[in-house]
Structure 1
């Protein structure tokens, strides 16, 4: 019997535990905690789960744990709606299976089928693919599913929207009846329910309760930053906020350690909390934080679970959580006991869609704020200096310092003396080297002044209308539909103009998004296309 290791309340082989620990996992997400035990018992499962809830690991861990590594045939098949998701899922499975003798292969259109055939001949246990390319291999008899013990339908509702329901049924009929079937879907339309009743055996149904995903008493804001300027942006927010105690969340243990070091180097009182700390170390950190000796606690999600501290004024998402439910648990650390609280998130360009997903889950629009400027930092520090000077004057006991001022007053202006003393006491010039976030250079796209023209790989043949483009951009990028400019729809592509200051957000939000059931490629247009 191989060694077992604990992952929250779950128990895995040491090889799986070591792999997920290296990936930064510290405790199971809700969908993992519920799904994994059921799957290990051999049950079929329906999981109503959004992207970003940790569902890939929820099915990958038990599959890797239970498959036969000595048999090189396909034992698990995962269907995904897009090639991007197929690649992503296959990569995560490969990382989880790092120390197990198990191989995963992504199969999708747009890649050489001969390369895929060669990889299948060499032997793989887990195939992740799009329905169309899986069917292609079945017709060629280069993929055989008679030994499949695990069948996963990932993002089933999106596959339905893209017209894959018949392909899915054709594929399911090629698999053995005696298998475990797992179906994950953000929504449960009637067609998905019919599919589940037809192909799943007494499935257990799991879902995230939306009742818990609302925290209206907390002010929620976000700042847009570039990855390389995130720490400097955080420092600006800290310098302009009236913080009592703050908890800053990072995704990984390494991220916690690096951020604590960065903050301490800049003069902030900060300490870290993560799963590698002993209980004695954890207690020491928490004692300092509760007593106010440390005003900033940097933590991972698992380390902060169960914290109940009344005076936390700010929760800061330095890294957005992949799991929207974790966002709710994080920001719930502030606004305790009826008090107000502020939740701040830093969002880098590639996370715009994740932000929109969180907003949909919590049914709340998170307010965007402008990152504080140097002038804002200076003004806040000026207010602090005036407050401290007033308090010191009221306390008295200045005779020693007055003697120094009187002596120097013979050769220097007293205002200059006071200014020099302030400069010595409060270094307020150190932040001036902050470089503003560099905007993406779109160049000349052939748009009207102040606008950027974007190319979209969808057109009349896809039955797309201008209102479809406007609605999707407005919803996904979070900009008013009225600011969207000229839209020109051709047979197989579309041009749309958006304001220059929103162009980067639209680009990241819309690229690989879905309009009218089709995955769309978006890029800046070339001026010659005009």
Structure 2
């Protein structure tokens, strides 16, 4: 199956080719044709499966540049995700000149309002900023054709359910609704089915995304000795680019200071940083300007960065699912990846749950 067979135009196919995308991924193959037809979809797909293009490509095909109205709206839980989707959309703009507005907190609302005076076809937004525009009546969704709810599970987890329902109520009854989520929980299904018209369910199995090509290790330590253990492993591995996950913003702050003092090339990423700084850090990391990104789960949610060779779980994730999310950011596109999980005695039960979920007893790294 190729993009042409899925109904993607030659102009867009050329742009994809220029950025190295020649073959559709499983989620794109499963969903693009249905979305182009105007069907509602509930899609289960993790980061790294190509889900952003799974909805962006048919949206670009379906938008009419002759109509001066917002025709498509993508709502996503975090600013980082909104930025990432906008970057993908801007690449496709080369093939079809669609007017795009990114509306998220931390971005100057004045410049957004000015841009809205022009003709906007596609909006990529976080719930809070979008509601702000709707209340100010600076965004009109009366002619909306397609509504996308991205990372629906995270949306509910972050308490956006009421916001989403308020937004949906301001869209036409006859619209296409697409719901993309890493996991389709009963809550996600409940929300989706309430607002969808006989949706088609599409799923890309986790095993296609994670664990293949990833070497996993566990280091048994104590919280007091964890920093030294991490540095020993970093020195042994000397990764090209790595993400180090911490449980809390405070832990990320402390680890950044400690590693920086020891001479490691690192920067932290979490929700307390101002938006412009977060954007600068992400751009810099994508360009491989520094080696180690120290991040919390929420800040790194959905980020798809090519070139990450190693993932270090400085703090054990709370669930097996979260572990799979974290380590799935390496070992992409057939490349090998490596992950190391640091545990102290109190983490044993969580580790057992993780090993049960991935059906693997993770080898212990002994030379520490």
* TM-score between both structures, scaled by the size of structure 2: 0.62
User: How big is the shift at 1:478?
Assistant: 3.7
How does 1:129-168 map onto structure 2 within 5 Å? Answer: 129-168=125-164
Q: Is the 8 A contact 1:8 1:27 kept in 2?
A: no
Q: Is the 8 A contact 2:45 2:205 kept in 1?
A: no
The CA distance in 2 between the partners of 1:123 and 1:165, in whole Å, is 29
User: How big is the shift at 1:11?
Assistant: 3.0
Matched, 1:349 2:241: yes
For residues 225-281 of structure 1, the C-alpha deviation after alignment (integer angstroms, 9 at most, x for no partner) is xxxxxxxxxxxxxxxxxxxxxxxxxxxxxxxxxxxxxxxxxxxxxxxxxxxxxxxxx
Q: Is the 8 A contact 1:29 1:53 kept in 2?
A: yes
Matched, 1:70 2:27: no
Aligned to 1:122: 118
Q: Give SS of 2:344's match.
A: helix
Aligned to 1:221: 215
Matched, 1:444 2:261: yes
How does 1:360-379 map onto structure 2 within 5 Å? Answer: none
The CA distance in 1 between the partners of 2:269 and 2:34, in whole Å, is 46
Aligned to 1:472: 317
Q: Give SS of 2:73's match.
A: strand
How does 1:47-62 map onto structure 2 within 5 Å? Answer: 47-62=43-58
Q: Is the 8 A contact 1:94 1:103 kept in 2?
A: no
The 3 A distance-change label for structure 1 pair 194 and 481 is same
Matched, 1:104 2:104: no
**Which residue, 461, 481, 501 being the options, matches 2:343?**
481
* TM-score between both structures, scaled by the size of structure 1: 0.44
Q: Is the 8 A contact 1:81 1:159 kept in 2?
A: yes
The 3 A distance-change label for structure 1 pair 125 and 213 is closer
User: How big is the shift at 1:27?
Assistant: 0.5
The 3 A distance-change label for structure 1 pair 454 and 102 is closer
The 3 A distance-change label for structure 1 pair 483 and 182 is same
Q: Give SS of 1:86's match.
A: helix
The CA distance in 1 between the partners of 2:130 and 2:210, in whole Å, is 40
Q: Give SS of 1:221's match.
A: strand
The 3 A distance-change label for structure 1 pair 348 and 200 is farther
Q: Give SS of 1:47's match.
A: strand
The CA distance in 2 between the partners of 1:221 and 1:161, in whole Å, is 30
How does 1:187-266 map onto structure 2 within 5 Å? Answer: 187-210=183-206, 221=215
User: How big is the shift at 1:119?
Assistant: 1.1
Q: Is the 8 A contact 2:32 2:55 kept in 1?
A: yes
Q: How large is the RMSD of aligned CA atoms in angstroms?
A: 3.7
For residues 74-94 of structure 1, the C-alpha deviation after alignment (integer angstroms, 9 at most, x for no partner) is 110000000110011011012
The 3 A distance-change label for structure 1 pair 478 and 39 is same
User: How big is the shift at 1:14?
Assistant: 1.9
Q: Give SS of 2:15's match.
A: helix
Aligned to 1:18: 14
The CA distance in 1 between the partners of 2:47 and 2:102, in whole Å, is 19
User: How big is the shift at 1:12?
Assistant: 2.1
User: How big is the shift at 1:481?
Assistant: 3.0
Aligned to 1:175: 171
The CA distance in 1 between the partners of 2:67 and 2:193, in whole Å, is 31
The CA distance in 2 between the partners of 1:173 and 1:22, in whole Å, is 39
Q: Give SS of 1:122's match.
A: coil
Q: Is the 8 A contact 1:103 1:126 kept in 2?
A: yes
The CA distance in 1 between the partners of 2:155 and 2:99, in whole Å, is 25
The 3 A distance-change label for structure 1 pair 212 and 86 is closer
The 3 A distance-change label for structure 1 pair 91 and 482 is same
Higher RCO structure, 1 or 2 (CA under 8 Å, sep 6+): 2
The CA distance in 2 between the partners of 1:114 and 1:482, in whole Å, is 49
User: How big is the shift at 1:208?
Assistant: 1.3
| Structure 2: unaligned runs, 5 residues or longer | 218-236, 246-256, 273-313, 327-338, 347-368
Q: Is the 8 A contact 2:48 2:209 kept in 1?
A: no
The 3 A distance-change label for structure 1 pair 26 and 453 is closer
The 3 A distance-change label for structure 1 pair 148 and 347 is farther
The 3 A distance-change label for structure 1 pair 214 and 112 is closer
